[in-house]
Amino acid sequence: MTHMTPRQARRAAPPRGTLVLLLAVLAVLAGCASAPERAANANAGGAGSAGTAAADAARTRAGSAADTPLRQANADADAIAAAAASRAGEPGAGEPPAAPLPRVRLDPQQDAQRVDLWQRVRAGMRIPDLDDELVRKWEAWYAGRPDYVQRMTERGGRYLFHIVEEVERRGMPTELALLPFVESAFNPRAVSSARASGMWQFMPGTGRDFELTQNIFRDERSDVLASTRAALDYLQQLYARFADWQLALAAYNWGPGNVQRAIARNQRAGLATDLSSLARLPQETREYVPKLQAVKNIVRTPGAFGLALPQLRNHPYFLSVAIERDIDIDVAARLAGLSVDEFKQLNPQHRKPVILAAGTPQLLLPYDSANRFLRELAVAPEPLATWTAWTAPRTVKVAEAAHLVGTNEHQLREVNQIPPRMLVKTGSVLLVPRSSRHDDDVPAHIADNATIALAPEAPPQRRVAFKAGRKGDSVAAVARRYRVPAARVAEWNGVGIGARFAPGGLVVVMVPARMAAQAAVRTAARSHTMQVQTKAAHHAGAKASGARLAAKTPARKTASGRRAAHTPARERMAQR
């Protein structure tokens, strides 16, 4: 029979410190205090009441401190260590007393971060703090509106875990995850008066710069995943340019070119170029970073401002679920067990009542709804979509388009947001009800690039003809008078765009029917004026001619011996 020395036995045994650490971590993860106790009893090897009593004594000393998984784990570690120490000194243990086991403690900060998303955000804050009157202003503003803060933070809780994950993955300061509180109060459907959209408030041009699709079917500035990716790309780009997060944030709000010019002005003046030293900033930009600082301070210590943040667990709120066929929004919501409004809170980028799989191949669903959606989708009857896309083969009226696709004009106008008295131009894409003639899913090139172009319907027109004036009229002058393009006037009359009409020449224009009467009145008035002017000119000419004739005729004596006045010939004849 082989005998082992005490040293060999200790080497063969598993490390006790490792065992204690493993058991403590299991206790935290499982929230079960009995596992370490069972392990301690098993390690005792039936040693009797001494080890059990030591463990009980250690657990008793822990007292009420074991009211959280972390404290419970630490208390259980004490108990295991005490039990092991008592077993080591028992008779017949076969080895001398072992050295005391190391105390294994878990970091309370790490445990809080594991279960609390707010603590995770606090732990990663790295942007230097501001402390000025503008920060105090916004702290007071938020503190005076606890209901608003509650709504904003509850709404943000849907998206914050995903943003924090992305921020940490890129090695960025975690307070950047709070920026949507400032931009949109975490509303992904927010639209500003300047047409910025989404919870990160992208302008249309900036969105296109960062590959956010904007067409008739979807606007990815409101897409939770796409807009977050674009916003963090933009912020990283700005930080690489300015090497200062406060300047990068100001540039996110005001534009990098404006911030760069403000820095250049300070450099020429020999002034500092940090954010607080820059002059001539718009008020919104001047308050932008202080506003974020106020949100940061409230998240860090909400109680100091009389506020309470809702509890946010450190796990995903939503999951991404793949789709392979087009699906109506109301159908997707029903399969997931959600209202349409709840569904749109996570999928707000869709502008039409259908989701095109070729453009958006996944849905975001709450954690608990994703499995239900997949189960219901597997047995749902097809088609899942009642809408598809149709491309106009030529410029058509809406009524004609409705006839071509087999629907009514009102429905077609409503779903495609076409105003009255507008034409649908060639190549425009309309959303139309599915039918036997139009029953396909929308292909990728349409889902990604669809546009609609409209033109005003031309009102009924009437031909108006008139004669050019005595000095003639230019094509441009006629065009201005009737408010039509000069090229059309030239076309109607078969002349060049720079031509002039001969005096008295016939001029033709086409005008809307409602303007034809006005044009006729103007033409008649102009003709009457010309007639009056012609008669007046003729009369004036006749008088001048008579005066010249009288000047050449000698005066004659009348019966009274006086010379007759120079009178026109007709008047002298009347006197005879």
CA nearest neighbour of 353 among 362, 344, 361: 344
Tokens for 516?
């034809």
**3-class DSSP string for 469-521:** CCCCEEHHHHHHHHCCCHHHHHHHHCCCCCCEECCCCEEEEEEEHHHHHHHHH
- Pick the catalytic residue from 183, 324, 382, 491: 183
What is the rounded end-to-end Cα distance, in angstroms, of the chain?
Answer: 178
Return the pLDDT at 29: 45
**3-class DSSP string for 35-47:** HHHHHHHHHHCCC
Tokens for 248?
């990068």
For the question of residue 183 being annotated catalytic, the response is: yes
Buried b (16+ CB within 10 A) or exposed e, 541-556: eeeeebeeebeeeeee
**Cα(125)–Cα(296) distance, integer angstroms:** 9
Whether residue 550 contacts residue 567, with contact meaning beta carbons closer than 8 Å, is answered with: yes
**Cα(276)–Cα(125) distance, integer angstroms:** 20
Return the pLDDT at 51: 41
Rounded mean pLDDT for each run of 10 residues along the chain, 576 residues in total: 43 41 42 40 39 41 41 46 46 42 43 78 97 97 97 97 98 98 97 96 97 97 98 98 98 97 97 95 97 98 97 95 97 98 98 97 95 96 94 96 95 96 96 90 96 88 86 90 91 92 91 64 59 62 61 52 48 45
**Cα(182)–Cα(13) distance, integer angstroms:** 58
Whether residue 429 contacts residue 451, with contact meaning beta carbons closer than 8 Å, is answered with: yes
CA nearest neighbour of 441 among 368, 398, 488, 389: 389
**3-class DSSP string for 29-75:** HHCCCHHHHHHHHHHHCCCCHHHHHHHHHHHHHHHHHCCCHHHHHHH
Return the pLDDT at 317: 96
Q: Is the peptide bond before 97 cis (omega within 30 degrees of 0)?
A: no
Other residues' Cβ atoms within 10 Å of the Cβ of residue 458: 10
Domain boundary assignment for the chain = 6-106, 127-305, 318-379, 387-456, 461-528
Q: Give strand pairing partners of 507.
A: 466
Give every CB contact of residue 254 below 8 A, 6+ residues apart in sequence. Answer: 281, 282, 284, 285, 288
Distance of CA 109 to the CA centre of its chain: 36
Return the pLDDT at 536: 63
pTM for this prediction? 0.67
Torsion of CA 108, 114, 119, 121, to 10 degrees: 140
The verdict on domain 127-305 having CATH code 3.40.50.720 is no
Return the pLDDT at 472: 82
The full length of the chain comes to: 576
CA nearest neighbour of 252 among 182, 317, 151: 182
**Cα(297)–Cα(135) distance, integer angstroms:** 9
Q: Using CA of residue 123, residue 125, residue 126, residue 128, what is the dihedral sign?
A: negative
Place of tokens 């388009």: 401
